[in-house]
Amino acid sequence: MVKPEVNMLASDQSHLPLLFVWRDSGVTEKHGFKMKVDVARVKVPGQEIIPMDQRGPRLLDGTYDFLSGLHHEPYYYRARGDKRFIYIAQAQNDWDDRVVATQEIKSAKDLEGKKVIVTSTAPCVYGNLKHSIELGGADLSKVEFITMHELEKQTGRASAVQAVASGEAVAANVDAPFDLQGEKLGLHVLHTPSVPVIHNATMCANGEWVQDNEETTLAFLRSMIDAIHFFKTQPDKSKEIIASRVGPILGIEKPDEIDHLYRVWAGLLSPKPYPHPLAIWNVYNLDVAHDPNVNFIGPMEIWNTSYLRQIDDSEYIDELYGSSQAAVNPTVNAAI
């Protein structure tokens, strides 16, 4: 039997464009359930503020059925002998952050000797930022990475853009649509190599719960596939949901910014939400591979795509898109 209400916790507000379209597009009802989405570390009407260190525990204690994110902690749990965490699907395999910079910064190497704002110290963000800049030609030892806290400024992507525009740093990493906000303030998006990484809406679950709730898990994954299809093929409806539900939380309301946010996400989402092997390796290499206390756990040990494979083998996804060729996932840059 499918659980009538599925509870999801998002690790970050940046996951919400997909999660709220998923929740509000009607695709979950098609599969027999409604989905509730809470967001960690954000003040949202109707929910308490959930600390980041409570994400894992609240998944394991049954408060939430699925968790969007938690990209590194499952390796550490498994290294301690707790093997309950599993990943069952991955919505995107490419980093969606951009580096907004002042006009005199023409290349990554120009960041040397300058201050660069880091909007998140999570390895899948900060680690990937450094990796991308280094691939672009910069010597990381010569770049001064700072946080908004160090600048004694209000945190957030919009605040980081303002700080760069006011000259307190020469660049900052932001996600869409804050890159567009930066361009409106006279900044530009600095080209840096795209790097594959497990990022944003990674579906994390308690493996024991999944075994006891396989019908709900399969219904959940089918609805995820349907949500991605809806997002890609129903732009007007998706943008309406983003504008009315996500916009107030992110602090965006202008139509061009909503449109930009939509187009970025639509281009990144995978019709078949499998993890890419290069993305798995990169996220593993960022935080696990060099730690002898954890790296005896292999990169694939926490992945269980058997339920997704079951759906895929039934040709559910191919039929949704019309053919297997039409359901192909976005390519990633083989830069690891």
String of DSSP letters for 132-199:
HHHHTT--GGG-EEEETTTTT---SHHHHHHHHHTTS-SEEEE-TTHHHHHHHTT-EEEP----B---
Angle at 71 (CA atoms; ends 273, 39), nearest 5 degrees? 85
Dist. CA 16–CA 37, nearest whole Å: 9
Nearest-angstrom CA–CA distance, 46 and 44? 6
What distances in angstroms separate CA 86 from CA 67, 100, 320, 329, one per listed residue? Answer: 10, 35, 27, 22
* Cα separation, 120 vs 314, whole angstroms: 40
Which DSSP state fits 202? E
Q: What is the pLDDT of residue 42?
A: 87
For residue 109, the model assigns a pLDDT of 97
Domains, the chain, ordered by start:
5-93+197-321 (3.40.190.10), 98-190 (3.40.190.10)
Of 258, 330, 281, the residue nearest 75 (C-alpha): 281
- Which pLDDT does position 149 carry in this prediction? 79
Q: What is the pLDDT of residue 336?
A: 64
Residue 158: what pLDDT? 81
Q: How far, in Å, CA of 176 to CA of 156, rounded? A: 13
* pLDDT in the model for residue 154: 67
21, two tokens: 């379209």
Residue-level pLDDT at 121: 83
Query: Residue 334 has what pLDDT?
Result: 83
pLDDT score, position 252: 92
Q: What one-letter code names the amino acid at 112?
A: E
Distance CA 59, CA 211 (A): 15
Give the per-residue pLDDT at 150: 79
Alpha-carbon distances of 140 from 114, 135, 172, 194, 224, rounded to whole Å: 11, 10, 15, 17, 38
Q: Indicate left, alpha or beta for 281 from its phi (over 0: left) and psi (-120 to 50: alpha).
A: alpha
Distance from C-alpha of 117 to C-alpha of 160, rounded to nearest angstrom? 7
What secondary structure does DSSP assign to 277-328, as a single string? HHHHHHHHHHHTTT-TTTTTS-TTTTB--HHHHHHHHTTHHHHHHSSTTTTP
Helix (H), strand (E) at residue 3 = none
At 113, is the secondary structure helix, strand, or coil? coil
pLDDT along the chain (336 residues), means of 10: 97 95 98 97 86 95 96 94 98 92 97 94 85 94 90 76 94 94 96 90 98 98 98 98 94 94 97 96 91 96 98 98 96 82
Residue 125 confidence (pLDDT): 84
